[in-house]
């Protein structure tokens, strides 16, 4: 019996390594065929680190579909600015995500500010 008073069961022992909940969620979503959801979650959780605080204050990721990351921007002016910086943003995403990085960005103006 182990310390909890339960006998050893197959698969009940740890394999010796700890994994973060985020990585486990990503694995489960991948197993369910929801890789895009997992990738969108990873991008969203690291958005400010990837693009910097100034851009993150005006733009947020909505989701990813078919390699296209859809972003909500808080004004037409910021949409235009980010359109011009698209190659830079794609390079930052690729640096952070590697081969999983989206290949295209699509901007849409939203009503709510991204930083809220």
72/2 Cα distance (integer angstroms): 52
DSSP for 7-58, written as a single string: ---TT-S--S----HHHHHHHHHHHTT-HHHHHHHHHHHHHHHHH-HHHHTT
If you count them, how many residues does the chain have? 116
Q: Which domain holds residue 35?
A: 21-109
> How many distinct structural domains can be found in the chain?
1
Q: For every one of its 116 residues, what pLDDT tens digit does the chain have, with 9 covering 90 and above?
A: 555 555 555 554 556 677 677 666 656 655 555 557 788 888 999 999 999 999 999 999 999 988 999 999 999 999 999 999 999 999 999 999 999 999 999 999 996 554 44
Q: CATH number for the domain including 31?
A: 3.30.300.180
Residue 95 placed within a domain: yes
Residue 11 placed within a domain: no
The answer to whether the predicted template modeling score (pTM) of the entire model surpasses 0.85 is no
49/60 Cα distance (integer angstroms): 12
């Amino acid at each position: 019996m182990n310390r909890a008073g339960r006998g050893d069961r197959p698969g009940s022992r740890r394999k010796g390594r700890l994994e973060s909940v985020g990585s486990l969620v990503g694995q489960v979503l991948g197993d369910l065929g929801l890789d895009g959801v997992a990738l969108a979650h990873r991008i969203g959780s690291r958005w400010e680190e990837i693009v910097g605080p100034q851009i993150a204050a005006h733009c947020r990721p909505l989701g990813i579909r078919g390699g296209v990351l859809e972003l909500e921007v808080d004004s037409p002016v910021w949409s235009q600015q980010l359109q011009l910086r698209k190659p830079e943003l794609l390079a930052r995403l690729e640096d952070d995500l590697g081969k999983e990085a989206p290949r295209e960005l699509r901007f849409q103006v939203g009503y709510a500010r991204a930083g809220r």
